[in-house]
Amino acid sequence: LCGDLKMQVPFPFCLLCLQVIKCKAAVLWEVNKPFSIEEVEVAPPKEYEVRIKIMATGICRSDDHVTAGALVMPFPIILGHEAAGVVESVGQGVTSVKPGDKVIPLFVPQCGECKSCLSTKGNLCSKNDLGVRTGLMSDGTTRFTCKGKAIHHFLGTSTFTEYTVVHESAVAKVDSAAPLEKVCLIGCGFSTGYGAALQTAKVEPGSTCAVFGLGGVGLSVIIGCKAAGASRIIAVDINSDKFAKAKELGATDCINPKDFNKPIHEVLIEMTGQGVDYSFEVIGRTDTMTAALACCQYNYGVSVIVGAPPAAQNITFDPMLLFTGRSWKGSVFGGWKSKDSVPKLVADYMKKKFVLDPLITHTLPLTKINEAFDLLRAGK
């Protein structure tokens, strides 16, 4: 009798469900320190949990915000939230996936029961770990240990490891033919940017857009604006080396704020007459958030905050910017209901409705994760 499953099962499976896996992971022991490649123990999945073998993971500016202390999380921790892998084992009660399935972990879960999940207007499931940030599973414990110490989870996913454990509400089964080293980007960066344009802003054909920040998420916003039929997409970044890729993906104009002696929102208003219809801040800086708002058309412009905001910082702005009619919106995971939408986005990729390859600049082994973050910080 298997105690975990409360049922009679073949003996080999009973052993499997009780097995602790030892594997490599990139552990962040404290803020402003490099990742340390360690051997960690990954506990078996408990009830309604799934253990995944991570095959590919992207790195995101949100991960870097934790390393620098701008996004406060408990330490020690295993970061990473943009990944794809294969189900290794499941806990009691799991029905949506089985061992061998290709899956994408979801840093925004979809429980299907809370107000946001039941509403057609929202996607931020109440089971997320973005607010309180406990770094623990739903039962208040962790599935990771290293050197006898408990290691915290990150956003319910923790993908900088060879194996991880997530709740069933935080995993989506995807096409078995999907290339995991590509579609892992649908776990965060691509979906976040693409959805910010299509789902949150609802960009219209013929509209004008401005995108602040040309990292992977900003480029994905450009892909979304182009797919929506925007007639003009203005890319804004202080790193002009990113302009060629932005134009390849659909930007019609590229401007560097360093090239002007006036505020960038004034430049954009002059370029477009009365400002853009839609703007997107995809950096995570309060000054660019207000600049993105100010560059919108004064009466009906919509500005979307996509970049994760820094901790303990507030925005001061002229309320007249909103009084005249502008809308200021936030977007988490592009507004997608994760468990429903991720398989559809993967299917769209397989049908060549959008590209992912241009978003991938480097491929490195887990042991070189610190080099990968150096490339991210260098804008490469």
* Residue from 81, 152, 153, 167 carrying the catalytic annotation: 81
Does 240 map to a domain?
A: yes
Let me know whether 184 and 69 are in one domain.
yes
According to the model, what pLDDT value does residue 54 have? Answer: 98
Q: Residue 1: is its pLDDT beyond 50? A: no
According to the model, what pLDDT value does residue 133 have? Answer: 81
Does residue 81 carry a catalytic annotation? yes
According to the model, what pLDDT value does residue 18 have? Answer: 61
Does 3 map to a domain?
A: no
56: domain CATH number is 3.90.180.10
Let me know whether 25 and 40 are in one domain.
yes
Average pLDDT value for residue range 139-151: 96
The total domain count for the chain is 2
According to the model, what pLDDT value does residue 120 have? Answer: 93
Query: 161 to each of 66, 113, 270, 277, how far by Cα in Å?
Result: 17, 30, 48, 42
Residues 66-83 have pLDDT tens digits of 999 888 899 999 999 999
According to the model, what pLDDT value does residue 6 have? Answer: 44
Does 12 map to a domain?
A: no
Does residue 125 carry a catalytic annotation? no
Does residue 60 carry a catalytic annotation? yes
Let me know whether 86 and 124 are in one domain.
yes
Average pLDDT value for residue range 90-101: 97
Does residue 341 carry a catalytic annotation? no
Average pLDDT value for residue range 359-367: 96
Let me know whether 214 and 106 are in one domain.
no
Let me know whether 255 and 294 are in one domain.
yes
Using CA of residue 221, residue 60, residue 137, residue 368, what is the dihedral sign? positive
Q: Are 173 and 97 in contact (CB under 8 A)?
A: yes
- Choice between 346 and 71, residue whose per-residue pLDDT is larger: 346
Residue span of the structural domain in which 374 resides: 19-189+336-378
Does 369 map to a domain?
A: yes
Residues 215-270 have pLDDT tens digits of 999 999 999 999 999 999 999 999 999 999 999 999 999 999 999 999 999 999 99
Q: What is the 3-state secondary structure (H, E, C) of the chain?
A: CECCCCECCCHHHHHHHCCCEEEEEEEECCCCCCCEEEEEEECCCCCCEEEEEEEEEECCHHHHHHHHCCCCCCCCECCCCEEEEEEEEECCCCCCCCCCCEEEECCCCCCCCCHHHHCCCCCCCCCCCCCCCCCCCCCCCCCEEECCEEEECCCCCCCCECEEEEEHHHEEECCCCCCHHHHHHHHCHHHHHHHHHHHHHCCCCCCEEEEECCCHHHHHHHHHHHHCCCCEEEEECCCHHHHHHHHHCCCCEEECHHHCCCCHHHHHHHHHCCCECEEEECCCCHHHHHHHHHCECCCCCEEEECCCCCCCCCCCCCCHHHHCCCEEEECCHHHCCHHHHHHHHHHHHHCCCCCCHHHCCCCCCHHHHHHHHHHHHCCC
Does residue 296 carry a catalytic annotation? no
Does 73 map to a domain?
A: yes
Let me know whether 180 and 31 are in one domain.
yes
* Residue from 17, 62, 111, 265 carrying the catalytic annotation: 62
Average pLDDT value for residue range 137-152: 96
According to the model, what pLDDT value does residue 113 have? Answer: 95
According to the model, what pLDDT value does residue 13 have? Answer: 46
* Residue from 17, 117, 125, 188 carrying the catalytic annotation: 188
Let me know whether 182 and 242 are in one domain.
no
Let me know whether 36 and 153 are in one domain.
yes
Does 43 map to a domain?
A: yes
Let me know whether 244 and 356 are in one domain.
no
Let me know whether 34 and 173 are in one domain.
yes
Single-letter amino acid, residue 258: K
Mean pLDDT estimate for the chain: 93
**Which of 168-177, 190-199, 284-293, 313-322 shows the lowest mean pLDDT across its residues?**
313-322
* Residue from 65, 152, 167, 265 carrying the catalytic annotation: 65
Let me know whether 367 and 302 are in one domain.
no
Does 195 map to a domain?
A: no
Let me know whether 95 and 147 are in one domain.
yes
